[in-house]
Structure 1
Amino acid sequence: MEAPPYRLAGLSCCLALVFVSGCTVGGSAPRSEPSTTQAAVPVAANDLQNDYQRVIRDVLPSVVQIQGRQDLGSGVVYDDKGHIVTNAHVVGEQRTFQVTTVNSEDPLRARLVYSYPEQDLAVVQLDRPPKGLRPAAFGDSKKVEVGQIVLAMGSPLGLSSSVTQGIVSATGRTVTEPSEGGGPGATIANMVQTSADINPGNSGGALVNLDGQVIGIPTLGATDPGIGAGAAPGIGFAIPASTVKLIADQIVKDGRVTDSGRAALGITGRTVVDDEYQAAGVAVVEVRGGGAAAQAGIEPGDVITRLGDTEITTLTSLAEALAALRPGDRTKVTFTRNGDEQTVDVTLGEQ
């Protein structure tokens, strides 16, 4: 069972670093220093190090720190007009921000263009983009492969312009974030799983390949159920570049999301339990007029138990099943009404 993820919400903290210097302990007896020879560094290691340093030089200037009234996160410069893409949970309910670039310690004022919590993405824009602002290059999500070396760039724990390294651990993950209230939040499909360290403050930053392309926006890490809310090291998730570009392009052009590509039933629901207090389905609380569920005859009070071939036990499982589909897809929905099981064909709408 995969560990449930936690969202890397904005950071507000004080950080103390303790440095311990080296020391020598012992008597006064003289001793001779051993002779040493430096081992030759393999050419391949030098090449890899050079690749790391080249990518950092090329991409890090495109990664910024975003500071709200209380929370702190990261962002990626999207174009030369000062648009910056980040996570929706980084901007929260705020509309103005202070943005610090790599090349300047003086914060720049930015305003929210649009936030799309359903995909946990948002775009802010600098009021006065500085000269030399460098947009990042975004890669092709279809070319991301397990085992690729990646670097995560951002401001973990408030340490701006930090870089960690790892690999792509998996692709195509569907992950549901928690909401501020503790329930299920955004369900995001096709996420990139990485072993690069992702900590609070990394949210909205850049996951970069060795070609200097952003392949994802780091968004959340996993928790280890065995240690409560503690982080599970080496398990982080990033929104794929293709999704970032789909959403950000619309926000930059239209000021909002006009085509999400996210399938929807058009209901408000809640998880219900059976007589043994086990999650047993999603009760329909409200049906949106003209939506997919309404057109299929689904009514408030129905309990959805299956979508296509997928068993539905919770709101999270329903959201994850829908994340694998597209608006306009036809599927079957199985539900119970007054104790009787029914199945209807549904043409999915758009969220």
Structure 2
Amino acid sequence: MSRGSNWQTRILVLVAGLTALSIGAPEAAPRIGGTDAQAQSVFRDARGYTVRIRTRIEAPFGADKLGSFFGAGFLVDAERRWLLTNAHVVGESPSEVEVAFADGEFQPAKKIYVDSFTDVAVLQVEHIPTGRRPAILETRDEVAVGETVGAFGHPLGMHFTGTRGIVSNVTDQAGPDLLQIDATVDHGNSGGPVISLRSGRVIGIATAGFDTDKSDRMNFATPLKDVLRIIKLLKAGESPVPTLFEFTLLRNDQGSHTMEVGATSDPVRWPLQSGDRIESVEGVGEVQTYSKLVTALRGCRGSARLSVLRNGKSIALQIAPAMAEPVLERRGLGMDGALISSFLWDDGAVFVERQPLRVEFVMPGSAAEAQGLSPGDRIESIDGVGYASLEALRSALHARPEGKVARIVLRRWSPSDNRIFDFHVRELPMEEIVEVGPQAEEVAAR
């Protein structure tokens, strides 16, 4: 069972857009790596719709890090002033985001939507410079292997720079479908456009690259099929948050998901059986990959029908999936420098279940760090009381006597081969309790 919940950790990639702002370099004209007139035209257009993004995170959830980071993005809707980028560029945590067009100043940007699965974020800015045209997005379902592409962004602080390569493969070994490209993707490229040099259309979003000397030409981009579905739902005023997949899908020897079901944790919502093979979604069509199933069920509220192969026969199943937790609605509580939140467990096989509260982050130099709390610790109890939700803990802290030291029991992964967990007792003075999340206000600062 994997202990990671982020597909990027499973593929062992270097997140290619989050690096300290201290790397910054002066803005440079695009480098195109050749004199091909078509590439020159494509990169000239890309300079007009691509932006620089800088992000500051002070209370990181999950895989996010504390600090200031930068990446790329691009304009996709001038009327709505919408930009596309990677979720990991702007963070899944509360963050301050600013963007700048070429030859322009940084301005604040608002996160409209953030998607953990596809690693995509939609931003909105107040002002689009005069004459800027949005990128043209490719609407084809499939991208041809061998297609010549360019990646445009800010690698290693070289702002508004283009690199060239081809689409080498389409893979889902990391979880979601990804385009494997050999155009260079480096620190600062993440969130930028990957463009067909034949058509000039954006075919993907630069996402990640392998962090080894021998694989510097193996990089990845998020294809647009699921992204286009997200944008369509947002424009219609509907939520594109994916459904909660409360079942496992088996993987093959190459690490890719098959469409064969391993087990389900909620047979009422998902009346699947081990060995079932998911074939199609009614009204959408066949689904051959995990990503296509996610896309097919986006916007599904209430129920849907699946065609499933069971014991050699195709049968129809009515499902009633719940919606996953919206990233932008995540909330937490800061307790003496430890960020606490409810945790959605992912074992790496499309299986999720609610777990008790856990420590997401510990602020350096805080009382929580001094007491030995660590990210990933589960909160078993506080003063002998277990809390099944963040709301229950919040209510208890509101009623807590001032100055009372808390005795906290933690559950932690054990380094021993003989047991899975260890339990530890820590004490916190509970002098600083702060809410973190959308419209969060300080609960107490004693």
TM-score, structure 1 as length reference: 0.63
Distance in structure 2 (CA, Å) of the matches to 1:137 and 1:239: 16
Q: CA separation of 1:203/1:252 partners in 2, compared to 1, >3 Å: closer, same or farther?
A: farther
Contact persistence 1:5–1:220 (CA under 8 A): no
Deviations 1:206-235 (A, max 9, x none): 0011221101111122355xxxxx672111
Gaps of 5+ in 1: 18-44, 177-186, 225-229, 272-281, 299-303, 310-319, 335-343
Distance in structure 2 (CA, Å) of the matches to 1:122 and 1:86: 5
Secondary structure of the residue aligned to 1:129 is: coil
Distance in structure 2 (CA, Å) of the matches to 1:162 and 1:57: 10
Q: CA separation of 1:14/1:96 partners in 2, compared to 1, >3 Å: closer, same or farther?
A: closer
Which residue of structure 2 aligns with residue 329 of structure 1? Answer: 306
Secondary structure of the residue aligned to 1:193 is: strand
Cα distance, 1:201 vs. partner?
Answer: 1.8
Which residue of structure 1 aligns with residue 48 of structure 2? Answer: 61
Distance in structure 1 (CA, Å) of the matches to 2:102 and 2:320: 42
Which residue of structure 2 aligns with residue 198 of structure 1? Answer: 185
Contact persistence 1:168–1:195 (CA under 8 A): yes
Secondary structure of the residue aligned to 1:59 is: helix
Secondary structure of the residue aligned to 2:152 is: strand
Give 1:108-123 correspondences, 5 Å limit: 108-123=107-122
Which residue of structure 1 aligns with residue 200 of structure 2? Answer: 212
What is the CA RMSD across the aligned residues, in angstroms? 3.7
The number of equivalent residue pairs is 263
Q: CA separation of 1:143/1:245 partners in 2, compared to 1, >3 Å: closer, same or farther?
A: same
| AA in 2 matched with 1:111 | K
Contact persistence 1:109–1:128 (CA under 8 A): no
Greater Cα offset, 237-246 or 321-330? 321-330
Contact persistence 1:221–1:231 (CA under 8 A): no
Distance in structure 2 (CA, Å) of the matches to 1:75 and 1:349: 35
Cα distance, 1:73 vs. partner?
Answer: 1.3
Secondary structure of the residue aligned to 1:254 is: coil
Distance in structure 1 (CA, Å) of the matches to 2:53 and 2:120: 14
Distance in structure 2 (CA, Å) of the matches to 1:159 and 1:49: 21
Secondary structure of the residue aligned to 1:251 is: helix
Which residue of structure 2 aligns with residue 308 of structure 1? Answer: 277
Give 1:51-130 correspondences, 5 Å limit: 51-69=38-56, 70-80=68-78, 81-92=80-91, 93-104=93-104, 106-130=105-129
Deviations 1:176-203 (A, max 9, x none): 2xxxxxxxxxx312x2211101112211
Larger radius of gyration: 1
Secondary structure of the residue aligned to 1:239 is: strand
Deviations 1:35-65 (A, max 9, x none): xxxxxxxxxx99x611111111122211111
Which residue of structure 2 aligns with residue 152 of structure 1? Answer: 151
Cα distance, 1:323 vs. partner?
Answer: 3.4
1:10 is matched with which residue: 9, 18, 38? Answer: 18
Secondary structure of the residue aligned to 1:136 is: coil
| AA in 1 matched with 2:124 | Q
Give 1:28-67 correspondences, 5 Å limit: 49-67=36-54
Percent pairwise identity: 25
Q: CA separation of 1:321/1:102 partners in 2, compared to 1, >3 Å: closer, same or farther?
A: same
Distance in structure 2 (CA, Å) of the matches to 1:142 and 1:323: 12
Which residue of structure 2 aligns with residue 287 of structure 1? Answer: 265
Which residue of structure 1 aligns with residue 172 of structure 2? Answer: 174
Cα distance, 1:9 vs. partner?
Answer: 4.9
1:266 is matched with which residue: 246, 249, 257? Answer: 246
Secondary structure of the residue aligned to 1:141 is: coil
Give 1:223-302 correspondences, 5 Å limit: 223-224=211-212, 232-254=215-237, 256-257=239-240, 260=242, 265-267=245-247, 287-288=265-266, 290-292=268-270, 295-296=271-272
Contact persistence 1:114–1:256 (CA under 8 A): no
Contact persistence 2:77–2:134 (CA under 8 A): yes
Contact persistence 1:333–1:345 (CA under 8 A): no
Q: CA separation of 1:152/1:266 partners in 2, compared to 1, >3 Å: closer, same or farther?
A: same
Which residue of structure 2 aligns with residue 132 of structure 1? Answer: 131
Cα distance, 1:131 vs. partner?
Answer: 2.3
| AA in 2 matched with 1:73 | G
Deviations 1:237-291 (A, max 9, x none): 1111222221123234427316x5x7x642489x9xxxxxxxxxx997x934842
Distance in structure 2 (CA, Å) of the matches to 1:143 and 1:324: 12
Greater Cα offset, 92-101 or 53-62? 92-101
Q: RCO (CA 8 Å, sep 6+): is it higher in 1 or 2?
A: 1
Secondary structure of the residue aligned to 1:68 is: strand
Which residue of structure 2 aligns with residue 40 of structure 1? Answer: none
Which residue of structure 1 aligns with residue 4 of structure 2? Answer: none
Cα distance, 1:204 vs. partner?
Answer: 0.9
Gaps of 5+ in 2: 1-9, 26-32, 57-67, 252-260, 279-287, 298-304, 324-446
Contact persistence 2:19–2:187 (CA under 8 A): yes
